[in-house]
Amino acid sequence: MKKMSILTLLLLTAICVIIANSGRASDDKTKKPATTTKGKKVKVVKTEAEWKQSLTPEQYHVLREHGTERAFAGALHDNHDKGNYFCAACGQELFTSDTKFDSGTGWPSFYAPVDKEAVDEKSDKTFGMVRTEVLCSRCDSHLGHVFDDGPKPTGLRYCMNSVALKFVKKP
């Protein structure tokens, strides 16, 4: 009887170890990096499969594959309602209608983010151009680009993709 209890205990221990390690992916493409923080904000980290599941195909292409929607095709380029613009991937607030302006480019344009910490910028040298890419600081999703031909007071034009944003109208 004692032999059986020890054997059962060993078997249960082995099962617990197997279960504890079963969540670890051996393929780097499915492995989640450790959650990090930037200031007080916690990074949103998902596998590419999880992003594909939570975004539309067009959103996935723009936000995760650094794509661009066609000019004048997005729902928000001609939006004149008062409200706030959030990242379509993670929900972080990015821009307000108070800083939105008509750039004539066919994409929603803003002269400043709601907070400097809401967006990250990095050099983009694709397609033989040098531009500054704008990313959501919370989930690293591609939002668009920033240019230095905007209106006062900043002189900047944050040219964003409509599908990268969710608009919430002020009541």
Residue 86 lies in a domain: yes
Could you tell me where the beta strands, DSSP code E, fall in 6-128? 37-38, 41-42, 83-87, 93-96, 100-101, 109-110, 119-124
Residue 35 lies in a domain: no
Residue span of the structural domain in which 111 resides: 42-169
Residue 53, token pair as written in the block: 């599941």
Q: In whole angstroms, give the CA distance from residue 25 to residue 29.
A: 9
Residue 1 lies in a domain: no
Residue 164 lies in a domain: yes
pLDDT at 5: 58
Q: Band the pLDDT of 22: cuts 50, 70, 90.
A: very low
Find the CATH number of the domain harbouring 91: 2.170.150.20
* 144 pLDDT more than 70: yes
Q: Strand, coil or helix: what is 17?
A: helix
| Helix residue ranges, H only, 30-164 | 48-54, 57-65
Residue 92 lies in a domain: yes
pLDDT one-digit tens code per residue, 35-60: 344 445 689 999 999 999 999 999 99
Residue 66 lies in a domain: yes
pTM as predicted? 0.76
Residue 26 lies in a domain: no
- Would you name the residues annotated as active-site residues? 159
- Give the number of domains in the chain: 1
Residue 17 lies in a domain: no
Cβ 166 vs Cβ 87: under 8 Å? yes
Cβ 99 vs Cβ 112: under 8 Å? yes
Q: Strand, coil or helix: what is 70?
A: coil
Q: In terms of DSSP bridges, do strands 83-87 and 165-169 run parallel, antiparallel, or are they unpaired?
A: antiparallel
- How far the first Cα of the chain sits from its last, in Å, is 72
Residue 31, token pair as written in the block: 């492995």
pLDDT one-digit tens code per residue, 84-127: 999 999 999 999 999 999 999 999 999 999 999 999 999 999 88
Helix (H) or strand (E) holding 13: helix 2-22
